Chain A
Amino acid sequence: MNFPESLRYTKDHEWISLDGNIATIGITDFAQGELGDIVYVEVETIGKALEAGAVFGTVEAVKTVSDLFLPASGTINELNPALANAPELVNTDPYGEGWMVKMTVDNPADVEALLDATAYAAVAG
């Protein structure tokens, strides 16, 4: 299983990367594997200020649906437009082209406090 060192993780299987106060968020390789073929990513919280842990959207796989939880407090700016026509990017490239949202985080230090790759690997088993 692939968990890049450069990212931070949540126990709910989201990853987050930070550039200044702008974060990119997706779901982990483990999560996409558990969900199976992803067919739809729905995010209707763009522009809303949300707390860490809030549900910011849902990801639908062929057989299951799962909520997406925000790793840090802030405001979502953008949903990955490529996912509208190619949701399978979440399966094929979960840390790259399969990113889900970009957000402005309220406090960049919150991100550093999340799980690192080693700690997350233990969560993912």
Chain B
Amino acid sequence: MKNTPFTGKHIALGAKMAEFAGYNMPISYSGINDEHAAVRKNAGVFDVSHMGEFILKGEHALDLIQRVTSNDASKLKAGQAQYSCLPNNDGGIVDDLLVYCIEENNPPAGRAGVYMLVVNASNIEKDWNWISKYNLPAGQAGKKKAEMHNVSDKTCLLAIQGPHATKILQPLTDIDILNLKYYTFVKGKFAGIDNVLVSATGYTGAGGVEIYFEDKDDNAEKIWEAIFKAGTPQGMKPVGLGARDTLRLEMGFCLYGNDIDDTTSPLEAGLGWITKFTKDFTAKEILEAKKKEGPERKLVGFEMIEKGIPRHGYEIKDQSGEIIGVVTSGTQSPSLGKAIGMGYVRTVFAGIGTDIYIKVRDKLLQAKVSKIPFS
């Protein structure tokens, strides 16, 4: 099992630790509900250094990214990021990811593109192999390949999320964090460390930033200490993967391996907005045809009417007891005080307000399809 540069910090803080994607990760510190509330109302710090980062460089980096991802990365200007996914050959999803444009591709001006892809920890090797396979596809002999660097092991990633996160961090840097627009980023000095990438992204829906920096010298120690020195007096808390999951689920954000995987298409997962048919990419024709037909099933949010908590893998049924789908994520929502979930249902059952039934152990409990983010 691998450690992140902060594993010692988590253990010293008394976190409940568990293996996740091969890393020894904090699940919770003070309790999921408490950490969840800190992020929704104030600020919380997540160590997500287990996630993978690939740097793609050169004049064909953008071509490669366009070929393997579903969103249109050519729209990105330097300093902008986008959510995207890697479709597989059957129209399923290899992984979901963020694409960061560090330098735009502009060969006439003598500049080649530099991009960073941020992928799920559990998929680092799979994604690397997948993307590598398309580096210099057939028919492009003679062209230079994109340079690819897997910098996952030496990249620290902290997510500082919550309505007060940027206010707490602003004194640590000259970067104008308070006015950083959603899905944009700046590289600069942070807590005395150079080359820190501060990105107005995150997977909580609570606002805040994610910061990427190299794990060298005592960078990790210095930045962690500076963040908590600034934040602890203001009620900022360390937050584990448990609350990360409840926070993302309240927003209806997909978790790879739960809500999306190799067998789910981006269209049925509600990710049509990152599937751009204006460019060529893996399984474009399959996905375009599926879009025309309309998906057979859809990922929906639902809330429980009868008391019970939905969990990944529970069956979804109609009133007559016929199976119409499956739960992909579920929890008691800490913010809303009710049980919520997501799951795939046959499209005819996907309308907001539709009555569905969740098989919780040996009982069928009533639920209804609801809009996401949950409210």
Q: List chain A positions with a Cβ less than 8 A from chain B.
A: 33-34, 36-37, 39-40, 42, 58, 60, 62-63, 65, 91
Residue of B with least CB distance to A60: B309
The 8 A CB mask of B258-279 against A (1 = contact, 0 = none) is 0000000000000000000000
Chain B residues 24-75 with CB under 8 Å of chain A are 27-28, 31-34
| A62 adjacent to B332 (CB under 8 Å) | yes
In the complex the two chains form, what is the Cα distance from A33 to B16 in whole Å? 9
The residues of A that contact B309 with a CB separation of less than 8 Å are: 39-40, 60, 65
Task: Give which listed residue, A34, A37, A42, A58, contacts B32 with CB less than 8 A.
Answer: A37
B210 within 8 A of A: no
State whether A62 and B307 are in contact (beta carbons under 8 Å apart), knowing that A37-B31, A37-B32 are contacts in the complex. Answer: no
| B16 adjacent to A36 (CB under 8 Å) | yes
Q: List chain B positions with a Cβ less than 8 A from chain A.
A: 16, 27-28, 31-34, 242, 245-246, 307-309, 311, 331-332, 334, 361
Task: Give which listed residue, A37, A40, A63, contacts B307 with CB less than 8 A.
Answer: A40
| A62 adjacent to B311 (CB under 8 Å) | no
- State the 5 A-B residue pairs at the shortest beta-carbon distance, nearest first: A39-B332, A37-B33, A62-B32, A60-B309, A37-B32
Residue of A with least CB distance to B243: A62
Tell me how far the C-beta of B318 lies from the nearest C-beta in chain A, rounded to whole angstroms: 24
In the complex the two chains form, what is the Cα distance from A40 to B308 in whole Å? 8
| B16 adjacent to A63 (CB under 8 Å) | no
| B332 adjacent to A36 (CB under 8 Å) | no
The residues of B that contact A63 with a CB separation of less than 8 Å are: 27, 32, 242, 245-246, 331
The residues of B that contact A39 with a CB separation of less than 8 Å are: 309, 332
Residue of B with least CB distance to A40: B309
In the complex the two chains form, what is the Cα distance from A17 to B38 in whole Å? 37
